[in-house]
Structure 1
Amino acid sequence: MRLEIRSNDRIGISQEILHIFSKYAWDIRAIEVTAGFTYVHVNESYQDSSLIIEQVHLIDGVTSCDEIELMPQERRENHLRTLLNRIPTPIFDLDEAGNILALNQAAIHLIDLPDTKLEGLSISEFIDQDFYGLLQGKGREQSIVFKQDAHIAEVSPVLVEGQVRGALLMLRDMNSLGRQMSLMQAQKEHGLEQIIGQSETIKLLKQQTRRFAQLHLPVLIQGETGTGKELIARGLHQESEQKDAAFLALNCAALPEHLLESELFGYASGAFTGAQKGGKPGLLELADGGTLFLDEIAEMSVYLQAKLLRFLQDYRFRRVGGNREIKVNVRIISATHQNLPQKIEEGRFRADLYYRLNVLNLVLPALRHRGNDIALLAKHFIQSAAIQVNMPAPLIDEASIAELHAYTWPGNIRQLQNILFRLVALNKGEYLSLKDIKQSLAQAAGEMKSVKKSHLRLEYDGEPIIDNKLQGQGIRTQDDKTWANAQAEFEVDLLSRLYPLYPSTRKLAKRLGVSHNKIAMKLKEHGFTSD
């Protein structure tokens, strides 16, 4: 039985109330006192509450005595427990020895011991490291293994007069952390509707992408630089059943081998000097249940190719420096602009990994092969650029569209977007200037030609050019102009303009009226990649 006793706020009244209970030897379970209120919880075996209430009313200053359902502390605890149970993150309240004082419903579900009283158990029974190590420092995050599964632990020590008297432990699984990272990488959804184009090649690409999205198999995306391989990868993910899970991307060309390895597979505590205490999860763990996109897969070292191949066999791996096998369910989408079969012949890419990654294959068309899509993309990029520079969107006439169509776009969609952004930012009229468009395209073509010539001057068969080494081969530096040098420059210019339009030795040979063997020889001589 619980009673709420209202009274005047005078000295000694609480003692007089307790004296009544003591006089009749009533068993008091709990008592709470605030100004003007005394709350008493007595043993439920006392059925006759009228006697208690009558005796309490005899005390001078008592104005009322009523039964209540809960003590104030019980009411606060119920509200707090309801609040904690609505939080999906497992939360543990621990004492200074690591024993569980309280936990929410998510934590109870995580431990999954229905017939066991969890309060009083040591948290060390469920984690893979010393509890006192978790308490070092003020709130921090670290990777731990809880009941054989990896989690990110957020530890907040409870301090009393500067001394640690316990800790609040919150656990986040790798899936939720991966989803958060996915949202940080892309603030909006990237479905196939984001892909602009009405050409037959794009329509077919979208249809094939939607079919592949329903198959939980590796996909290899191939296409020239700037064709939108990551956009297609995100579209694959958004069209799949895993669309609500994480989509994480990693550029294999952006990191050296050792950093790429730890980024992909994670590392265990103490794996190397400077390693984060508790270790760090890799993208394979964080993308569990979702998709991992490996861009520029051809740039991955042979050593990491072997590790990735081992993972793809049974989707198990170990962190760098770790000894515990981790199994994940993640879809691998890879992409490259390079010729992987040729790299296999050169011994720079594993054939067995190629077949693992190339279960499903998507080939993205170059912009120059997409017909009227150039006009649609141009108008879209003009609108987008105008919004970014906070100015009205200029118009573009048919002559300018025709000029864009005539260009070969070696940098594809990315190059088109960059050129139009620059034109919009500098534009001052109602229309984009045809003259400015021609100048921009001519400048872009000149830059590409300069890159090709620079490559010719600086490299020959992969080695720096030395004049005396190449004297007998008829190739000299610009300071020593010869007929052969001029002819080589002409051939480089001709091949750089025509080879993208006729991307095989036989097609280009037919266009120029020579044998395909001659074309193959010239492509190799000037550093072009032939079929």
Structure 2
Amino acid sequence: MYPERSEITRIWKALRKNGECEGINVPTIISSSWERCRQLNLDPMKIHCNKILSPDQLEERIRENIILVEQAMASMKDLYRFTRRTGFVLVLTDKEGYILKRLGDEDVLEFVSTVNFVEGGKWTEDIMGTNAIGTALIERQPIQVFAYEHYCAGSFFTTCSASPIFDSNQNLLGILDITGPYNLANHHTLGMVVAATRSIERQLILFDSYQQSETENMYKNIIMDSVSDGILTLDHELRVTHANGLAGKFLGFDNNIAKGKHLKELLPSGNEYFISGIADNKKLWNEPFIIKRYKDISKVAVSSTPLTAGDGRVLGKVIILQAMKQYRQMLKRAMGASATIGFEHIIGGSQSLNGAIERAKVAAYSDSNVLLQGESGVGKEMFAQAIHKNSNRSQEPFFAINCAALPRELVSSELFGYEEGAFTGARRGGNPGKFELADQGTLFLDEIGEMPLDIQAVLLRVLEEGSLIRLGGRELTPVNVRVIAATNKNLSEEVKKGKFRADLFYRLGVLMIEIPPLKNRKEDIPDLVEHFIKAFSRKLNKDVDSIEDRAVNKLLSYNWPGNVRELSNVIERAITLTQGSVLKFENLEPDIMQYDEDSFVAGAQSKPMDNVEEVMIRTYLKKYHGNKTRVAKELGIARSSLYRKLDKYSLS
């Protein structure tokens, strides 16, 4: 039997006054709550909740907790079927104790509203003392508060049972509470509430999983539709599980209706080769295929990766599709087809070299073909790269090919490409040539004078028409390529001899640049030597930082038939042999150490030593910023002698 209301009042007053009452066992969780209320100086005679949200604030709270509200309301409605017409009211609060939703009989709701047990009311301990909602929020566990166990008078004729609701990470979301007449509640009431909250938590976990799955699918779709490749996933039967828009475009089907369909259902006949290639459980990497669509064809590079289970069973495949043009762009990047050298990397300040550089800079602003002429080793490819890097094609590929290094039978396929079956051993799907790969960019043809005459004719046609036909093919492929050619031969003489086509010579030589040999610009040697010493010291992990004057003099007097390339090789070898920080005369190659200056004729009438002497004077003047005293000291001559030499070489 439950005590009468008067007895409830007596017990409550005794508890409030003494903290205990004879015959009444107060749970620790309740006594702890009462102590908190006393420390807050909370009025035990408080009847009404005085903390209520405005309608707008309540609406905002519900919006913030809409998932909790929607999932909890289903369980609350199920529970209400058992509590209808019993005087109980079901309540859902947020994590701060604000009532978001109530469910109960109309008369019951009206009655509890008299103490502001309403939507928007805050029923925390600091507002309404010990009560199931507020105390469950603090203790984070289910609790039942019976009649006189409430701290404030407004609630001591009710019993409330509440259980916290947690998410999958044990974050507190809110409270589910049943409040009703004290004489109708029992411990089973709390059990019902706990069961209902567990159901709500399960629904929230399922909803989170669904949301996460939906979000992941959304991200996956966005990512797959954002990439520049077609992406197709298939199950083990070759049925589509996903296809982005580009996959549908490449293969010619609507990706929105492709899911669940076999490739054979989506593609017209004539694609057996492609389907069998995909069906084969081998990994493919950028294999070229021609796809027959219902209205036309598409050329794609296909990569296929089988998905296998632990026991080796093939579960499906991921297919990556690239347009052949995109594949070629990727191939260009993979082959490092770019220019890395600019004009700033061309070492030297001689008048003849500067003149060549200025002409090359003019060529860079033009889109005309360029012919670079000069001896082997003068740096023709450096000039070609610098022209490309400073041109409006600088972001496009730069390909270099040495015409003299290719076997005659490979020149055509290397330049213009070939189709599948063009010759024995031809790659399946064919192969693009350097002209196709260099499309929109620059093609550097070194040693152009070695190109066979029949290939010269094909090259001329490509340059004139801006298109090519692959070896073994029929289809015209448009190409937009700027050609920079280079030669160490006198092409005018080669034309006269019938070894080079005159029309091709004129087509290539719209802009002609002569790069001077090193023997004609010896004043650049000290700068080149300094550059190479630094570069090879780093490369070879050496500490060489200077060079003997005797070694410099010998380098200045040498003829350099191999030009800058030969000088580079000489310095690299000398650095390798050098012990210590100074490159010495004896570290130079024997051919250079034993070179006889008197055998070298620098010009028609000039003597070799005069040439070397002038270069040395120029070098020291530059080194010491025109300080003639320092220059004379370095040369080991009197100032008066130096002045005579300055007049002699017109350096004064």
TM-score range normalised by the length of the shorter chain: 0.5 to 0.7
How far the C-alpha of 1:296 sits from its partner, in A, is 0.9
**Alignment CA distance shift 1:312-1:128 (3 Å):** farther
Q: Is the 8 A contact 1:368 1:409 kept in 2?
A: yes
Amino acid at match of 2:402: N
Question: Per-residue displacement from partner, 1:333-357 (whole Å, max 9, x unpaired)?
Answer: 1111111111112221111111111
**Is residue 88 from structure 1 mapped to residue 228 from structure 2 by the alignment?**
yes
Amino acid at match of 1:199: S
Q: Is the 8 A contact 1:305 1:353 kept in 2?
A: yes
Amino acid at match of 1:155: S
Question: Per-residue displacement from partner, 1:209-248 (whole Å, max 9, x unpaired)?
Answer: 2221121221111110000111111101110122111111
Q: Is the 8 A contact 2:299 2:324 kept in 1?
A: yes
**Is residue 413 from structure 1 mapped to residue 558 from structure 2 by the alignment?**
no
Q: Is the 8 A contact 2:339 2:386 kept in 1?
A: no
Q: Distance in 2 between matches of 1:314 and 1:116?
A: 43
3-state SS of 1:196 partner: coil
**Is residue 277 from structure 1 mapped to residue 443 from structure 2 by the alignment?**
no
Structure 2 counterpart of 1:195: 346
Structure 1 counterpart of 2:507: 356
Amino acid at match of 1:153: V
**Is residue 230 from structure 1 mapped to residue 381 from structure 2 by the alignment?**
yes
RMSD: 4.1
Q: Distance in 2 between matches of 1:356 and 1:149?
A: 35
| Equivalent in 199, 206, 225 of residue 62 of structure 1 | 199
**Alignment CA distance shift 1:186-1:318 (3 Å):** closer
Q: Is the 8 A contact 1:99 1:123 kept in 2?
A: no
Q: Distance in 2 between matches of 1:352 and 1:75?
A: 64
3-state SS of 2:555 partner: helix
**Is residue 153 from structure 1 mapped to residue 336 from structure 2 by the alignment?**
no
**Is residue 212 from structure 1 mapped to residue 355 from structure 2 by the alignment?**
no
**Alignment CA distance shift 1:158-1:332 (3 Å):** farther
**Alignment CA distance shift 1:115-1:356 (3 Å):** farther
| Equivalent in 436, 453, 457 of residue 306 of structure 1 | 457
How far the C-alpha of 1:399 sits from its partner, in A, is 3.4
How far the C-alpha of 1:175 sits from its partner, in A, is 6.0
Structure 1 counterpart of 2:469: 318
Question: Per-residue displacement from partner, 1:475-520 (whole Å, max 9, x unpaired)?
Answer: xxxxxxxxxxxxxxxxxx97xx54xx45xxxx58x99xxxxxxxxx
Q: Distance in 1 between matches of 2:324 and 2:453?
A: 32
Q: Which has the higher contact order (CA 8 A, sep 6+)?
A: 1
Q: Is the 8 A contact 1:249 1:294 kept in 2?
A: yes
**Is residue 143 from structure 1 mapped to residue 283 from structure 2 by the alignment?**
no
Q: Distance in 2 between matches of 1:391 and 1:441?
A: 23
Q: Distance in 1 between matches of 2:258 and 2:453?
A: 49
Structure 1 counterpart of 2:411: 260
Amino acid at match of 1:63: I
3-state SS of 2:512 partner: strand
Amino acid at match of 1:62: S
**Alignment CA distance shift 1:269-1:442 (3 Å):** same
Q: Distance in 1 between matches of 2:268 and 2:460?
A: 35
Q: Is the 8 A contact 1:96 1:167 kept in 2?
A: no
Percent identity of equivalent pairs: 31
**Alignment CA distance shift 1:228-1:140 (3 Å):** same
Q: Is the 8 A contact 2:253 2:266 kept in 1?
A: no
Q: Distance in 1 between matches of 2:266 and 2:535?
A: 53
How far the C-alpha of 1:258 sits from its partner, in A, is 2.0
Q: Is the 8 A contact 1:294 1:332 kept in 2?
A: yes
Task: Judge which range, 166-175 or 176-185, deviates more.
Answer: 176-185
Task: Judge which range, 388-397 or 153-162, deviates more.
Answer: 153-162
Q: Is the 8 A contact 1:394 1:429 kept in 2?
A: no
Structure 2 counterpart of 1:482: none
3-state SS of 2:494 partner: helix
How far the C-alpha of 1:123 sits from its partner, in A, is 7.7
Q: Is the 8 A contact 2:233 2:316 kept in 1?
A: no
Amino acid at match of 2:582: Y
**Alignment CA distance shift 1:148-1:214 (3 Å):** farther
Q: Is the 8 A contact 1:175 1:288 kept in 2?
A: no
Q: Is the 8 A contact 2:444 2:484 kept in 1?
A: yes
Question: Per-residue displacement from partner, 1:8-46 (whole Å, max 9, x unpaired)?
Answer: xxxxxxxx9xxxxxxxxxxxxxxxxxxx99xxxxxxxxx
Q: Is the 8 A contact 2:231 2:318 kept in 1?
A: no
Moved over 6 A (4+): 1-6, 57-60, 95-100, 108-123, 125-129, 146-149
**Alignment CA distance shift 1:209-1:411 (3 Å):** same
How far the C-alpha of 1:127 sits from its partner, in A, is 11
Structure 2 counterpart of 1:78: 218
How far the C-alpha of 1:418 sits from its partner, in A, is 0.5
**Alignment CA distance shift 1:387-1:58 (3 Å):** closer
Q: Map 1:506-525 onto structure 2 (within 5 A).
A: none
Q: Is the 8 A contact 1:419 1:440 kept in 2?
A: no
Task: Judge which range, 207-216 or 97-106, deviates more.
Answer: 97-106
Q: Is the 8 A contact 1:124 1:130 kept in 2?
A: no
Q: Distance in 1 between matches of 2:269 and 2:507?
A: 37
Q: Is the 8 A contact 1:267 1:279 kept in 2?
A: yes
Q: Distance in 1 between matches of 2:351 and 2:228?
A: 47
Structure 1 counterpart of 2:113: none
Structure 1 counterpart of 2:539: 388
Q: Distance in 2 between matches of 1:234 and 1:217?
A: 15
3-state SS of 1:260 partner: helix
**Alignment CA distance shift 1:61-1:385 (3 Å):** closer
How far the C-alpha of 1:259 sits from its partner, in A, is 1.7
How far the C-alpha of 1:420 sits from its partner, in A, is 1.0
Q: Distance in 1 between matches of 2:383 and 2:517?
A: 14
Q: Distance in 2 between matches of 1:215 and 1:164?
A: 56
Amino acid at match of 1:142: E
How far the C-alpha of 1:304 sits from its partner, in A, is 1.1
Q: Distance in 1 between matches of 2:511 and 2:395?
A: 22
**Alignment CA distance shift 1:304-1:396 (3 Å):** same
3-state SS of 2:399 partner: strand
Q: Distance in 1 between matches of 2:479 and 2:469?
A: 11
Amino acid at match of 1:154: S
Structure 1 counterpart of 2:50: none
How far the C-alpha of 1:94 sits from its partner, in A, is 5.6
Structure 2 counterpart of 1:248: 399
Q: Is the 8 A contact 1:316 1:326 kept in 2?
A: yes
**Alignment CA distance shift 1:331-1:112 (3 Å):** farther
Q: Distance in 1 between matches of 2:359 and 2:269?
A: 46
How far the C-alpha of 1:205 sits from its partner, in A, is 2.2
How far the C-alpha of 1:63 sits from its partner, in A, is 2.9
How far the C-alpha of 1:68 sits from its partner, in A, is 5.8
3-state SS of 2:445 partner: strand
Q: 5+ unaligned residues in a row in structure 1: which ranges?
A: 7-15, 17-35, 38-56, 447-492, 512-531
Q: Distance in 2 between matches of 1:307 and 1:116?
A: 47
How far the C-alpha of 1:80 sits from its partner, in A, is 1.2
Q: Is the 8 A contact 2:544 2:583 kept in 1?
A: no
Q: Distance in 2 between matches of 1:254 and 1:132?
A: 41
How far the C-alpha of 1:151 sits from its partner, in A, is 5.3
**Alignment CA distance shift 1:227-1:79 (3 Å):** same
Question: Per-residue displacement from partner, 1:278-321 (whole Å, max 9, x unpaired)?
Answer: 11111111111211111111111112111111111121111111
**Alignment CA distance shift 1:99-1:328 (3 Å):** farther
Rg larger for = 2
With structure 1 as the length reference, what TM-score do the two structures score?
0.66
**Alignment CA distance shift 1:364-1:336 (3 Å):** same
